[in-house]
């Protein structure tokens, strides 16, 4: 996952751009994994955390914050484990 996010853009714009590059489903899976604690800020399975305006090396709770922020801008799918409808 070679693409580099534009740090001048905000979280919403970078999340949308990442969804275009990597696929919306990949981004949602990643954000959900961050929220569950199943992925860290430097997880090689996913894009660079900078796509969610995060930074590697911050305290671990920040990964959950970035995951939640990503879902805020991308929206969870209807079958998400985080939806309770």
Tens of pLDDT, residue by residue over 35-68, are 999 999 999 999 999 999 999 999 989 999 999 9
What is the model's pLDDT at position 3?
Answer: 77
Is-contact 30 71, C-beta < 8 A?
no
Could you tell me the pTM of the whole model?
A: 0.83
Q: Return the higher-pLDDT residue of 72 and 85.
A: 72
- Would you say residue 83 has pLDDT above 60? no
User: What's the chain's average pLDDT?
Assistant: 87
pLDDT band at 85 (very low <50, low <70, confident <90, very high): very low
């Amino acid at each position: 996952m070679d693409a580099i996010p534009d740090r001048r853009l905000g979280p919403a714009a970078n999340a949308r751009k990442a969804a275009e590059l990597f696929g919306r489903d990949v981004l949602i899976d990643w954000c959900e994994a961050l929220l569950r604690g199943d992925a860290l800020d430097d997880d090689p399975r996913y894009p660079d955390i900078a796509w969610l305006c995060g930074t590697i090396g911050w305290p671990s709770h920040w990964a959950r914050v970035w995951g939640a922020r990503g879902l805020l801008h991308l929206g969870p799918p209807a079958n998400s484990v985080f939806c309770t409808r």
